[in-house]
A and B are shown apart, each in its own frame.
Chain A
Amino acid sequence: MDLIFKSAHELHDLIKSKEVSVLDIANSFIKRIKSVDNKINAYITFDENQVINNAKLIDEYIAKNGEIKKFTGIPISIKDNICIKGVKTTCASKMLSNYISVYDSTVVKKLNSHRYLLLGKANMDEFAMGSSNENSSFGVVKNPWNLKKVPGGSSGGPAASVAAFEAACSLGSDTGGSIRQPASLCGIVGLKPTYGRVSRYGLTAFASSLDQIGPLTKDVEDCANLLQVISGYDEFDSTSIKSEVLDYRSFLRRDIKGIKVGIPKELMVKGMDNEVKESVLKAVSILEKNGAYIEETSLPSLEYALSVYYIVAASEASSNLSRFDGVRYGFRDFDSQTLREMYKKTRAQGFGSEVKRRIMIGTFCLSSGYYDAYYEKAQKVRTLIINDFKNAFSKYDVLASPTSPTPAFNLGEKTDDPLLMHLSDICTSPVNLAGIPAISIPCGVSSENLPIGIQIMADVLREDNLIKTASVIENEINWQINLDL
């Protein structure tokens, strides 16, 4: 069987038993990327020679009896808003198309300590703003299941690279659903950790109170392993949490008898695709069959979550993206005669239309006269949403919902309507507002042969409950990625 179809933990076993070399693995994935990425466009930066050189170095290390850790020699793609020293970090923007990182993000440092194999930097929506990966200045990403469909976003490249067997696993970032929604649309596993569980040092900031880095993988076991490696306190991120990292893998294939599952009726939204609803309820019934207690519940403030998300994310983005002014790095308009003219022309030409729109909305919500009615009001409603979740988790161990209200939609279908596009995040964005962790795992296929995902949410720092429940569903569903690619 070809190595590209293996999960990361299967590849680890093969490396450990010396059945394959890291170079064998590198060659298989390079061959795959060269044969399919012209159709998918999952990668922005891919340097074949670099991959081969690194693979040889890892093999030499192993030959000298170096320790083979979980991700030693495992081929991984990294979303292009996560810094790797000496490698471009474009954020899929013209603004940073030539930017070369001068330091490693903390997550990459942690993976380096395992001697992972970097395959390349994965495509995304510009500055992680989007739900379809159509906002990239390096071209749209296609869904490997159907090339006429979007892969979801903003981590469209990470999700598509894993689903198309162009990487064993990937790291993405999630601000309002940017890991979970593309994982769902591409039929893979994606997890957004608790806010502060994973260091954001070296992640290009979009909305700092919502952003988290997390894993995109083929199965729940890889998800647990990768989460464990990247988690932990970091003195370079003052929002990271000083709390022990659990052995997430130990929560696989556990008994879930007596676990309480709430189904928030606000997330079984009107206009939701029927096949999505059926698949999600079927997955919930698997939990029930395994002894879980299921109940419908209500989190009334979730009605406001999308609006709150829109305001908070745009406001924080408008502040964070003020650093892109053509002075210290990135694109500059060289024709300008004065500093102020240079700022305006650099930003007008360097940013795409969705990024500008969000900066404009955020600037409006923070501007004098509107701050109280929009930004401050949104932060108060956010408190209500957090309280609703706290209340729910006093009764339930986990909550379940669809990840996305529909399977993958057509390319171009929603690009002219920012509000319609935004509805894709309806089930995922409340999770970021509350800072809680959530996972998306595949739970069915639509009549059009497109994957459907279920989202499971847990209380702060209870990623163990996500792994437990997701593992039970995964074991019964026996998921296969079936591509004509």
Chain B
Amino acid sequence: MVSKIVSKEDIKHIAKLAEFEFSDSEIEKITRQLDRIIEHVAKIGEANTEDVDPTFHVLEVFNVFREDTIKKSLSIEESLSNAPEESDGGFKVPKID
């Protein structure tokens, strides 16, 4: 099947944006599947949306503000309790490249 909308190069680029690592065979498979899905959902292009605003919230709820007061929150120990690695009260990660 020839890709129509999404190419292998596109998928490699998207994978980079999403911080994924795929093998060549996975890239092939994902390209095929995404191309088919994107082709299908591109159907929305047919809908007439001239002068229609996009929905960013389904109900008319606006930003909620509160007083900037200090409240109880998680302790450092609780915050770190699921950390894969920690050091001196912080999250430890491999060398930043």
Contact = CB atoms under 8 A, between A and B. Distances in A.
Given A102-B82, A419-B36, A339 B55 contact: no
A325 B84 CA distance: 11
B43 interface: yes
A435 interface: yes
A61 interface: no
Interface in A327-352: 327-332, 334, 336-345, 347-348
B41 to A, nearest CB: 4
A401 to B, nearest CB: 19
B3 interface: no
Interface stretch (A138-146, A149-157, A265-273, A304-312): A304-312
A347 B20 CA distance: 6
Nearest to A364: B14
Contacts of B1: none
B96 interface: yes
Nearest to A311: B41
Contacts of B52: 380, 383-384
Contacts of B59: 194-196, 241, 435, 460
B94 A386 contact: no
Contacts, number: 169
Interface in A351-403: 356-357, 359-361, 363-364, 367, 373-374, 376-384, 386
A419 B55 contact: no
B81 A361 contact: no
A342 B93 contact: yes
B96 A383 contact: no
A361 B78 contact: no
B54 interface: yes
Contact of A338 (B21, B53, B58, B96): B96
B19 A347 contact: yes
A99 B44 contact: no
Interface in A131-173: none
Contacts of A301: 47
A103 B47 contact: no
Question: What does DSSP make chain B's interface, helix, strand, loop or mixed?
Answer: loop
B64 A102 contact: no
A290 interface: no
B96 to A, nearest CB: 5
Contacts of A341: 94, 97
B2 interface: no
Contacts of B43: 304, 307
A238 interface: yes
Contacts of B89: none
Given A102-B81, A338-B97, A360 B44 contact: no
B96 A307 contact: no
Contact of B41 (A307, A334, A339): A307
Given A304-B44, A367-B14, A381-B44, A357 B21 contact: no
A279 interface: no
Interface string A68-88: 000000000000000000000
Given A336-B94, A337-B94, A196 B61 contact: yes
Interface residues of A, number: 68
A100 B81 contact: yes
A297 interface: no
B74 to A, nearest CB: 6
A228 B34 CA distance: 41
Contact of B74 (A102, A307, A360): A102
A344 B16 CA distance: 9
Given A344-B19, A348-B20, A357 B34 contact: yes
Nearest to B74: A102
A434 B40 CA distance: 21
Interface in B1-42: 6, 10-11, 13-15, 17-22, 30, 33-34, 36-38, 40-42
Contacts of A328: 79, 82-83, 91
B40 A329 contact: no
B30 A329 contact: no
A209 interface: yes
Contacts of A322: 18-19
B47 to A, nearest CB: 5
Given A239-B61, A364-B10, A383-B54, A327 B91 contact: yes
Contacts of A367: 13-14, 17
9 contacts: A195-B58, A238-B61, A238-B64, A304-B44, A308-B44, A327-B83, A329-B83, A330-B82, A357-B34
The 10 closest A-B pairs by CB, nearest first: A435-B58, A379-B54, A329-B82, A332-B84, A380-B49, A338-B97, A307-B41, A344-B21, A238-B64, A363-B18
Interface of B: 6, 10-11, 13-15, 17-22, 30, 33-34, 36-38, 40-47, 49, 52-59, 61, 63-64, 66, 74, 78-79, 81-85, 91, 93-97
Given A347-B21, A383-B55, 14 more contacts: A102-B82, A304-B44, A307-B42, A308-B44, A318-B18, A322-B19, A327-B84, A331-B84, A340-B97, A361-B38, A363-B18, A364-B14, A374-B42, A419-B37
